[in-house]
Structure 1
């Protein structure tokens, strides 16, 4: 199987190349730019009548621009995209120019995007992964989206228009050509040249507002500052359990920009409480002292779940 497009991203903790195949790319009819928004984790809303309800996030609008950065199209509104789901969004154009740059505006329900792929009006294909939120200092989480041909999963980037959970970005902007690559990056390449004003990836708090990608944030990995802000949704008692070797509870608990549900790494044998940033070993043979019991957690959640309600356990 031949890749339709190859883009640079973060594979197993190092910069590499993600391959996008035909079934990961939206179709196009030659009259619009079409974007596939793949969601990793949706937001969470605590509803007294239905405490297990997940609040799906979505895109308020998409704006497309030509090579001269002139606006050529607006559209693509979604209602909601749930965890692990995607939607294909078409944006009509005023002129038949290639939409080389696109801005994605969140609605008021947060969403963590694993990747966006595109088929422009001229039938060219492009893509971007949520790794870039992590690289450029935005709020991020792991995703359960398996990329074909690898055993790796990209990270996802959080966006939220009303910033109710202190998520930084309400808008992200992507220059598609900046992420196309057919060669493996060098071992010392960190990708930060693609962040903000002079780079291929941009992010703002909202329409017409200031950039939320700061050079200081790119240099800092100080967890203390982040502990003053929320690291998960209020009332979010979901638990993500991952068996992926490159998804560790330690990284989530110690990274200043991670945000999302509590997390278990089976491979690492550790649990991260995202609210307190407490890191615990998983209970098992040879483990003494305080530990996290995965089996007990699953059992408790199963007892509390009511018929028709979604499970709070997300297993990758």
Structure 2
């Protein structure tokens, strides 16, 4: 994916303090760490409970949660995990690094991760993965008191849904939303997206006990513990990075260099490349992992054109009634909704099917004389009001 301009509004608007949504509190906050995994509201978003590990600023492991082979996180829900600090001798520690690794085969679509410990709390959202080109889909789950619904990003242990990443590793400390830090990311996206220690969507061979990349030496920040920019007696405190380019180490964005972007030869092509790829049984067409389901959104924050054209989107067909557009995720093409202006070569929302044929034309790509309109029949649908 070519480097796109970072939407600073998205970056700033999706860093939240989300302690109010955590459903459990540690019995001993000095010797325990709390992690919240927020699953988006979308088709197939809920799934297996992953393994979670946390490390401190120096890359010393604090503790681990071993996952739950019989557990499940429903969509629009938060899984709150309390981890004992039993791998660092029970010491107080801030969970600066985190890894989330899928072990079971029911994929999840994560909207947010919250890490809390030793009086510190940081929040990462799925919009960060979207910004850097990870596989994503729209979500209708607003988090906390915010009106925004961050996109969710896909993780799966066996890639059977065409999902590349098995796990995600983060220096979650760097998702504080500090405006000086966000400004540095906006000035050079490599600092956010091509930095293995900061954020990496991990394919194979990551396993629950894998080590993740760390910053060596640890990062230093401009702002001291009193919040003033006058040098610092606490280089880990806050503000902009003293060395903003520290850790830039790869050419690809969300995924490591050398990642098989055609997992099992199933990774779909760019949305505008209509050459049919080979696909797993669970994925039909270009990027549709639930072909018998339709999502209809009445919210201006959701774009059918975007989910259709974006090279990393993955999910079922999508309608935006605000845009008056239907997205066919099997071809990466969008079509207008039928109305007084469009009475053929359009999507009939009432009957949830395509209406045609008419003159040779299309949505974002012109229809050739031999091209057929997509045949659409859905068993289920959902409306986001």
* TM-score between both structures, scaled by the size of structure 1: 0.77
Q: Is 1:174 matched with 2:170? A: yes
- Cα 1:188–1:60 shift into 2, 3 Å: closer
Is the Cα contact below 8 Å between 1:171 and 1:207 reproduced in 2?
A: no
Question: What aligned pairs does 1:209-248 form with structure 2 within 5 A after superposition?
Answer: 215-216=251-252, 222-224=270-272, 228=277, 230-233=286-289, 235-248=290-303
Of the structure 1 ranges 128-137 and 142-151, higher mean CA displacement relative to structure 2 is found in 142-151
SS state at 2:58 partner: coil
RMSD across aligned C-alpha pairs, in angstroms?
3.3
Is the Cα contact below 8 Å between 1:110 and 1:161 reproduced in 2?
A: yes
Match in the other structure for 1:290:
345
Residue 188 of structure 1: CA displacement?
5.0
Is the Cα contact below 8 Å between 2:142 and 2:148 reproduced in 1?
A: yes
Is the Cα contact below 8 Å between 1:161 and 1:170 reproduced in 2?
A: yes
Larger RCO (CA under 8 A, 6+ residues apart): 1
Q: CA separation in 2, counterparts of 1:314 and 1:70?
A: 46
Is the Cα contact below 8 Å between 2:46 and 2:107 reproduced in 1?
A: yes
Whichever of the two has the greater Rg, that structure is: 2
Contiguous gaps of at least 5 residues in structure 1: 1-8, 45-54, 299-303, 306-310
- Cα 1:81–1:155 shift into 2, 3 Å: same
Q: CA separation in 1, counterparts of 2:293 and 2:7?
A: 26
SS state at 1:33 partner: strand
- Cα 1:197–1:189 shift into 2, 3 Å: closer
Q: CA separation in 2, counterparts of 1:100 and 1:109?
A: 27
Contiguous gaps of at least 5 residues in structure 2: 1-5, 213-248, 255-268, 280-285, 354-377
Number of paired residues? 283
Of the structure 1 ranges 78-87 and 158-167, higher mean CA displacement relative to structure 2 is found in 78-87
* TM-score between both structures, scaled by the size of structure 2: 0.64
SS state at 1:20 partner: coil
- Cα 1:214–1:43 shift into 2, 3 Å: farther
Question: What aligned pairs does 1:100-179 form with structure 2 within 5 A after superposition?
Answer: 100-106=96-102, 107-120=104-117, 122-147=118-143, 150-179=146-175
- Cα 1:192–1:271 shift into 2, 3 Å: farther
Of the structure 1 ranges 87-96 and 108-117, higher mean CA displacement relative to structure 2 is found in 87-96
Match in the other structure for 2:193:
195
Residue 182 of structure 1: CA displacement?
3.3
Residue 148 of structure 1: CA displacement?
5.1
Q: CA separation in 2, counterparts of 1:179 and 1:144?
A: 22
Match in the other structure for 1:36:
36
Q: Is 1:91 matched with 2:83? A: yes
Q: Is 1:204 matched with 2:178? A: no
Is the Cα contact below 8 Å between 2:101 and 2:206 reproduced in 1?
A: no
SS state at 1:223 partner: coil
Residue 73 of structure 1: CA displacement?
1.2
- Which protein is richer in strand relative to its size? 1
Q: CA separation in 1, counterparts of 2:205 and 2:383?
A: 33
SS state at 2:350 partner: helix
- Cα 1:189–1:140 shift into 2, 3 Å: farther
Residue 28 of structure 1: CA displacement?
2.8
- Cα 1:263–1:25 shift into 2, 3 Å: same
Q: CA separation in 2, counterparts of 1:25 and 1:240?
A: 28
Q: CA separation in 1, counterparts of 2:33 and 2:7?
A: 26
Of the structure 1 ranges 170-179 and 241-250, higher mean CA displacement relative to structure 2 is found in 241-250
Q: CA separation in 1, counterparts of 2:18 and 2:43?
A: 28
Residue 176 of structure 1: CA displacement?
1.7
SS state at 2:335 partner: strand
